[in-house]
């Protein structure tokens, strides 16, 4: 055939006809089909056919590199992850993941796999190109098989050609027959952990998609494109294909299971936790379990597998709630449930020691003993220190709460006061955030205001509650109780000699508060005058004191420092007298210090003569109830002549005795508030009199000798008219005061 390469078209027709004539049974001019069996090998035979047809002059450019049946590419997912990526980037990149993984190579059945060469068919001598082509494609020649062969250049050569007015056509095909099994199992196992995943689809390169473990016979390429359309007159085509069976991928049925809520917290004995599950590739649903089981919390799946409920029980611990795919038990999702015991462990009433604008004032136990409130006044199972507030004030507290076991959560927390007669109202509901199981120094508002009166309560108890954990709308759950809290209420911040600077000895003492509020019966007093009345009455009558009739010497108010500790305890034995022996300085000091403790600016008043002030003497006293003595107008009667050494001289307490026959007050101390006098030494006088009124009712100026020893005396600038004037009594005052307390 090589000699044909140099022939002209005419010679080509003639010599071709001669070539084929030799092999036809009857030489005729009629159209005919000529077939030839060609024993070819992979790739080389296709080239030989092309050369042969090229000699015929109908060869066009070969379209190499096509795949049959499906032209598709497979691109690996690329991730933009470097170092330790943040969570948001991980979430973003994870969206690129598919359920497709590389599979194992298909299993080729070598007995059923071979290449098929369909005999060549040449139709010659037809009047039209279409007639020649139709004759070529209907020829049913025998095929040649190449056992165990899969060629990578299968395809066809076809075309039509006109030579001297007659038409010829040509068709040659080569196909692969591939018999294989798509996979050996319906399961794919991860190489890292061996977890089996169900295969739903096997993607085999360019061949197609198949069910797992499918036995497949594929013949390709399909010849429709070669036989179902006319190539055209004087047109030719060669198509060369390869098959991709190396790219095998599995599409997996990976269960996606999502449980809501992801992290839940419940209180011991609290309300149930509702769970729901959604997902894909879980046609038969999930089974619900809890771990640990049988400990406290229990899980109850509903009839609809999408839902389950957990009862928290009474054991505080961490649980795992698991939903497992019924179809593939190797796939499950776990979420966390913390059943915790939430407790209030610390409460700070005085949480700002630099100010008492919205919290308790600074207090101590007594002069020598401070309170340690660094962890709060109330510590669960330990410290329980009183608190003191001023009256009619909106206040706050700070509390510390913990969870056991530790949990991160937020919830609404509040407390209910169980004592309607207490000093503090309910704790207002506040959203609290716990970090690693602790909520430190949470500020809570107390409902209402503190009482509008002096008060001590020992029955304040708060029942703490919690709800709406992590915004879940969870029902109310009871926590622990705090208290009993001891609370003092005073009218205002203490005034000098008291102070509110933190951790100083002149902070209000609970010893003094108890003495003033409880012993002196100031509990319930809403005004300063009422409190002063109770203080003066108690110190005059109730504290079991008696006047120093042997000298009127002070024992507790010395050098402007008032020994309140000794006064309360009646412990001083100065001068060899009993601890309950006092004088007017002590009594005025007691009234003023106790009143100032309650925030009352009671003025200590000293009236009369001392060797250093040049003031007129206080004078002889009218019959009065002298503390511990009774009715008396002769206060130092043991020092008087035997005939007059009795407390009360004269008839009905009226006498003009003076000098050595009767004793007098050279000076006297008492208290003034808002212009009115309180005297707990003699009387008592309970804040109903002005200084002039008090002087008139207390000092005896009925006779001239008595007047001369009083502010009305001429020696001291008085007019001796038997009536006190403002100037006379003011002239007798000395600016003494209590400057310290101990």
CATH number at residue 377: 2.60.40
Q: Is residue 290 part of a domain?
A: no
Judgement on whether residues 600 and 680 belong to the same structural domain of the protein: yes
Residue 9 binned pLDDT confidence (cut-offs 50, 70, 90): very low
Q: How many domains does the chain have?
A: 3
pTM of the predicted model, to two decimals? Answer: 0.70
Predicted local distance difference test score (pLDDT) of residue 254 = 86
Decide: 202 and 103 in contact? Cβ < 8 Å: yes
Residue 738 binned pLDDT confidence (cut-offs 50, 70, 90): confident
Residue 54 tokens, joined? 């090229």
Least confident of 36-45, 161-170, 299-308: 36-45
Residue 57 binned pLDDT confidence (cut-offs 50, 70, 90): very low
Judgement on whether residues 474 and 622 belong to the same structural domain of the protein: no
Domain holding 643, by residue range, is 521-741
Over range 149-176, report the average pLDDT: 92
Judgement on whether residues 487 and 554 belong to the same structural domain of the protein: no
- Residue 14, pLDDT > 70, answer no
Judgement on whether residues 79 and 165 belong to the same structural domain of the protein: yes
Judgement on whether residues 548 and 675 belong to the same structural domain of the protein: yes
Over range 599-622, report the average pLDDT: 94
- Cα dist from 621 to 582, 614, 653, whole Å: 18, 20, 10
- Residue 95, pLDDT > 90, answer no
- pLDDT above 70 covers a percentage of the chain that reads 91
619-645: pLDDT as tens digits? 999 999 999 999 999 999 999 988 899
Residue 725 exposed, middle or buried by CB count within 10 Å (0-12, 13-18, 19+): middle
Task: Among 222, 251, 280, identify where a domain stops.
Answer: 251
Q: Is residue 475 part of a domain?
A: yes
496-513: pLDDT as tens digits? 999 999 999 999 999 999
Q: How many Å from the N-terminal Cα to the C-terminal Cα in the chain?
A: 137
**Other residues' Cβ atoms within 10 Å of the Cβ of residue 516:** 32
285-323: pLDDT as tens digits? 999 999 999 999 999 999 999 999 999 999 999 999 999
Over range 433-459, report the average pLDDT: 96
Q: Is residue 603 part of a domain?
A: yes
Judgement on whether residues 127 and 179 belong to the same structural domain of the protein: yes
650-707: pLDDT as tens digits? 988 899 999 989 999 999 999 999 999 999 999 999 999 999 999 999 999 999 999 9
Judgement on whether residues 79 and 223 belong to the same structural domain of the protein: yes
- Residue 62, pLDDT > 70, answer no
Residue 271 exposed, middle or buried by CB count within 10 Å (0-12, 13-18, 19+): middle
Q: Is residue 325 part of a domain?
A: no
Predicted local distance difference test score (pLDDT) of residue 120 = 65
Q: Is residue 530 part of a domain?
A: yes
The β-bridge partners of 261 are: none
Residue 293 exposed, middle or buried by CB count within 10 Å (0-12, 13-18, 19+): exposed
Q: What is the separation of C-alpha 120 from the centre of its chain, rounded to a whole number of angstroms?
A: 82
Residue 542 binned pLDDT confidence (cut-offs 50, 70, 90): very high
Judgement on whether residues 601 and 474 belong to the same structural domain of the protein: no
Judgement on whether residues 78 and 154 belong to the same structural domain of the protein: yes
- Cα dist from 643 to 426, 548, 660, 661, 709, whole Å: 68, 20, 11, 8, 22
In angstroms, the CA 414 to CA 696 distance is 59
Task: Among 476, 492, 508, identify where a domain stops.
Answer: 492
341-376: pLDDT as tens digits? 999 999 999 999 999 999 999 999 999 999 999 999
Q: Is residue 513 part of a domain?
A: no
- Residue 5, pLDDT > 80, answer no
Residue 505 exposed, middle or buried by CB count within 10 Å (0-12, 13-18, 19+): middle
Mean pLDDT for all residues in the chain: 88
Over range 179-205, report the average pLDDT: 92
- Residue 569, pLDDT > 50, answer yes
Residue 77 binned pLDDT confidence (cut-offs 50, 70, 90): confident
Q: Is residue 516 part of a domain?
A: no
- Residue 2, pLDDT > 60, answer no
Closest to 337 (Cα-Cα) out of 401, 280, 279, 259: 259
Q: Is residue 99 part of a domain?
A: yes
- Read off the DSSP letter of residue 362: P
Judgement on whether residues 72 and 167 belong to the same structural domain of the protein: yes
Task: Among 232, 251, 270, identify where a domain stops.
Answer: 251
Predicted local distance difference test score (pLDDT) of residue 627 = 98
Whether the bond into 221 is cis, omega within 30 of 0: yes
Judgement on whether residues 229 and 140 belong to the same structural domain of the protein: yes
- Residue 10, pLDDT > 80, answer no
- Residue 578, pLDDT > 80, answer yes
Judgement on whether residues 566 and 467 belong to the same structural domain of the protein: no
């Amino acid at each position: 055939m090589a000699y044909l390469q140099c022939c002209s078209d005419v010679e080509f027709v003639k010599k071709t006809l001669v070539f084929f004539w030799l092999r036809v049974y009857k030489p005729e001019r009629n159209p005919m089909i000529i077939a030839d069996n060609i024993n070819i090998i992979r790739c080389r035979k296709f080239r030989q056919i092309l050369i042969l047809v090229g000699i015929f002059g109908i060869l066009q450019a070969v379209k190499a590199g096509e795949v049959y049946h499906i032209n598709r590419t497979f691109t690996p997912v690329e991730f933009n992850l470097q170092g330790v990526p943040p969570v948001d980037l991980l979430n973003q990149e994870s969206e690129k993941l598919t359920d497709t993984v590389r599979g194992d190579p298909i299993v080729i059945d070598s007995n059923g796999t071979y290449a098929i060469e369909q005999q060549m068919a040449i139709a010659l001598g037809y009047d039209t190109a279409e007639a020649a082509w139709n004759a070529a494609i209907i020829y049913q020649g025998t095929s040649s098989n190449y056992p165990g062969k899969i060629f990578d250049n299968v395809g066809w050569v076809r075309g039509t050609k006109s030579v001297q007015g007659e038409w010829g056509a040509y068709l040659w095909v080569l196909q692969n027959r591939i018999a294989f099994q798509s996979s050996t199992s319906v399961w794919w196992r991860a190489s890292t952990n061996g977890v089996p995943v169900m295969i739903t689809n096997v993607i085999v390169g360019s061949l197609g998609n198949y069910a797992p473990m499918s036995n497949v016979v594929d013949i390709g390429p399909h010849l429709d494109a070669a036989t179902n359309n006319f190539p055209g007159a004087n047109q030719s085509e060669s198509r060369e294909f390869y098959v991709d069976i190396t790219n095998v991928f599995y599409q997996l049925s990976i269960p996606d299971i999502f449980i809501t809520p992801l992290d839940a917290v419940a209180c011991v004995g609290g309300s149930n936790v509702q769970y729901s599950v959604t997902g894909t590739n879980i046609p038969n649903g999930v089974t619900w379990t809890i771990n640990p089981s049988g400990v406290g919390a229990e899980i109850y799946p509903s009839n609809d597998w999408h839902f389950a409920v957990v009862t928290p029980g009474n054991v505080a611990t961490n649980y795992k709630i698991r939903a497992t795919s019924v179809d593939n038990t190797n796939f499950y999702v776990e979420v966390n449930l913390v059943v915790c015991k939430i407790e209030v462990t610390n409460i700070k009433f005085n949480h700002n020691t630099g100010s008492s604008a919205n919290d308790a004032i600074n207090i101590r136990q007594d002069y020598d003993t401070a309170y340690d409130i660094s962890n709060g006044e109330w510590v669960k199972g330990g410290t329980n220190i009183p608190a003191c507030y001023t009256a009619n004030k909106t206040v706050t507290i700070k509390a510390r709460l913990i969870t056991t076991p530790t949990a991160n959560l937020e919830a609404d927390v509040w407390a209910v006061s169980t004592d309607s007669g207490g000093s503090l109202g309910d704790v207002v509901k506040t959203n609290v955030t716990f970090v690693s199981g602790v909520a430190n120094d949470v500020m809570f508002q107390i409902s209402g205001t503190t009482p509008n009166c002096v008060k001590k309560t020992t029955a304040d108890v708060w029942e703490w509650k919690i709800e709406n954990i992590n915004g879940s709308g969870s029902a109310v759950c009871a926590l622990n109780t705090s208290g009993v809290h001891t609370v003092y209420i005073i009218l205002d911040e203490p005034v000098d000699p008291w102070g509110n600077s933190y951790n100083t000895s002149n902070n209000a003492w609970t010893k003094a508060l108890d003495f003033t509020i409880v012993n002196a019966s100031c509990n319930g007093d809403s005004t300063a005058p009422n409190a002063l009345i109770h203080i003066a009455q108690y110190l005059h009558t109730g504290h079991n004191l008696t006047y120093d009739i042997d000298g009127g010497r002070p024992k507790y108010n010395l050098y402007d420092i008032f020994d309140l500790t000794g006064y309360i305890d009646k412990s001083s034995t100065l001068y060899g007298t009993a601890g309950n022996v006092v004088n007017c300085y002590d009594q005025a000091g007691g009234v003023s210090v106790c009143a100032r403790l309650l925030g009352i600016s009671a003025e200590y008043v000293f009236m009369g003569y001392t060797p250093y002030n040049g003031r007129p003497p206080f004078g002889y006293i009218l019959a009065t109830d002298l503390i511990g003595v009774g009715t008396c107008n002769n206060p130092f009667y043991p020092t008087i002549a035997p005939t007059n050494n009795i407390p009360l001289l004269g008839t009905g307490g009226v006498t003009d005795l003076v000098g050595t026959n009767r004793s007098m007050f050279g000076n006297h101390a008492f208290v003034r508030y808002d212009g009115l006098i309180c005297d707990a030494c003699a009387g008592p006088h309970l804040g109903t009199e002005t200084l002039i009124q008090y002087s008139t009712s207390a000092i005896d100026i009925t006779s001239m000798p008595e007047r001369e020893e009083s502010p009305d005396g001429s020696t001291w600038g008085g007019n001796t008219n038997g009536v006190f004037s403002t100037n006379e009594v003011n002239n007798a005052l000395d600016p003494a005061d209590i400057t310290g307390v101990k």
